[in-house]
Structure 1
Amino acid sequence: MNLNHTLLAGSLSHEAREAFLSALVSEGRAEWLDKGRRKCLILWHRIQDWADLILSFARDNGLEDGVMTVDEIRSGIESRGTELHGMDRTILMRALKHLEHKGKLAIFKGTSADDEGVKFSI
């Protein structure tokens, strides 16, 4: 990622970088992090694709009506060997919120961010 950033920063004008990143954003492959369009989050998978991986993970682990913490999804035994293991928490939360909006799960708060939970309903 640093190499790509360096290449973009060194060889493209600001307008060209913004056009390139805007194309990624329009394809769902990136998201602007600020209104000035100076910071952009590049996504390995689109949020919808991460959401689909989460649903497959839940089905594969018999969690159609189950409950897990957010941290169990990213670092639990069940996620080992999957793309979810060790994934960025911000991206995971965006994918979970996408699924919540679609009615596939409910996110509930614990006493801290470390014990936020997910109740699947798929």
Structure 2
Amino acid sequence: MQKLGDFKLPHFFNYPPYFTLQPVKDTREKQIQLWKELVVDFCRAQNIFIIELENDFPLFTNPVIERSLSHEAREVFLSALVSEGRAEWMDKGHRKCLILWHRIQDWADLILGFVKDNGLEDSVMTVEEIRSGTESRGTELHGVERSVLMRALKLLEHKGKLTIFKGASTDDEGIKFSI
């Protein structure tokens, strides 16, 4: 089985036709499903949140079989993730895509679990402490894309689970949990 770093690639990754958009509807649907799962699994394993279509992305090329996805195929696969709510285009030209290996509600649930597991129910933290503090090390919150974290925090604020306080800079934004 081929690997990309420590990530095990699925068997279809070595099958050249999967690097070309398939013309038959049923085959294309299967191809899109396999690529969607691969992109989400890889991004989650590698803690990747943003894919830029114009830049090299390790999954989109297989040097072993000398195949690369076309720009059109990349956009089709990522657009399929967008239509499921598993990704969002970050620009109108579809050049940058935010991968949501958890939906925003799931990120919010992870934050609540983190708060409860660490006994932070009535405490104050900065956004940066959640993203890169010692408490978050070893959790999926460590290194989370800031925009994803802020959306999950705002969802929790809307539900009355916390209050976000603006600081002098974005590094100083604080959160008061009230769970």
TM score, norm. by length of structure 1? 0.81
Q: How does 1:1-122 map to 2 (within 5 A)?
A: 2-6=57-61, 10-12=68-70, 14=72, 16-122=73-179
The alpha-carbon distance between structure 1 residues 60 and 6, as it changes in their structure 2 partners (threshold 3 A), is same
Check the 8 A contact 1:71/1:114 in 2, yes or no. yes
* Aligned-residue offset at 1:6: 4.4
Q: Which has the higher helix share?
A: 1
* Aligned-residue offset at 1:33: 0.3
**Cα-to-partner distance string for 1:55-108 (whole Å, 9 max, x where unaligned):** 100111222222111111112221122111222222222221222233222211
Root-mean-square deviation (CA, aligned residues, Å) is 2.3
Amino acid at match of 2:102: H
User: Matched residues in 2 for 1:6 and 1:116: separation?
Assistant: 40
Check the 8 A contact 1:18/1:37 in 2, yes or no. yes
User: Matched residues in 2 for 1:82 and 1:13: separation?
Assistant: 34
User: Matched residues in 2 for 1:29 and 1:5: separation?
Assistant: 18
Structure 1 alignment gaps of length 5 or more? none
TM score, norm. by length of structure 2? 0.58
Percent identity over paired residues: 76
111-120 or 20-29, which moves further after superposition?
20-29
Residue 135 of structure 2 aligns to a residue whose secondary structure is helix
Amino acid at match of 1:101: H
Residue 49 of structure 1 aligns to a residue whose secondary structure is helix
Amino acid at match of 1:114: D
* Aligned-residue offset at 1:13: 5.6
Check the 8 A contact 2:60/2:69 in 1, yes or no. no
Count matched residues: 120
Bigger-Rg structure (1/2): 2
